[in-house]
Structure 1
Amino acid sequence: MNAHNHDYELDMQIGHLLRRAYQRHTAIFQKEIADDRLTSVQFATMVAISQLGTAPLVQISHATAIDHATLRDIVARLKERGLLCVVQDKADRRQRLVSLSPEGEKLLQATIPAARAVTELTLAPLDACERIAALQVLKKLALEDI
């Protein structure tokens, strides 16, 4: 073992801990959500589209913090499943407007209660004060400009 690395404790590094927490959350999501083809990122995309209404990809990308290329793939997969409607913007032919299809709205509404349970299960090891603190710290870290 390299003597220079003895003072670097992996279990004390924020990136490592965030990744481990996200892995745990993802495992809970996959276990609790009835639709085994719906990922947490796809769900977040559908929630954002529901909140925005019909919106261009750039607006959805901003709302979800998902890069444009990745979002295009997510939208394509959800559209292929019949969960999204994608149309050309009549005002700007370069843009595509995305909305939930009736099937997408139905799946989203059916999934939201389980998604709430996922949040509760993810936060289960924390007491009430720790939950508030954790969410506030994560919001601050997530929303701070790089």
Structure 2
Amino acid sequence: MDERLHFEDFIEGQIFQLGEKSVTRAELTCFARDYDPQPFHLDEEAARHSILGGLAVSGWHTAAIAMRLLADGLLNRSASQGAPGVDKLRWLKPVLAGDVVQVETAVVSKRPLATRPSLGLVYFKMTVLNQREELVMTQENPILFLRRASRA
């Protein structure tokens, strides 16, 4: 029997706690050097004088951390078939070196796909909080899942 979560297993309003991740200075600067080499992600002095107030994690790094926690906490134990994109992504507060982010996602809505009866679309809203429980990022997007009812 397939124990993975399928389209039918998701309920509107359901919340999944996806875990937390501490962000080290080394991880922050390594990601920034490779993918977002702006001074406030790489240089302590420049970061102190920026509107971010300190050495800040790239927003894309925050999104990547959230994606990793989503994969580990939900997608890798589901019949996920990928996502058609992200509808909304907002960075609301900087994540600084040493911060701990925690991620959860909630099922907003769901619907079967008329054009692909083997699939259903589940719409999620993800929230990312820091250790002070301040909202630092939100993301809204649909994810495709296999339907149990359509399996032969």
Q: What TM-score range do you get, normalising by the shorter chain? A: under 0.3
TM-score of the two chains, using structure 1 as the length reference: 0.23
Higher share in helix:
1
TM-score of the two chains, using structure 2 as the length reference: 0.23
1 or 2 for the larger relative contact order (CA 8 Å, sep ≥6)? 2
Higher share in strand:
2
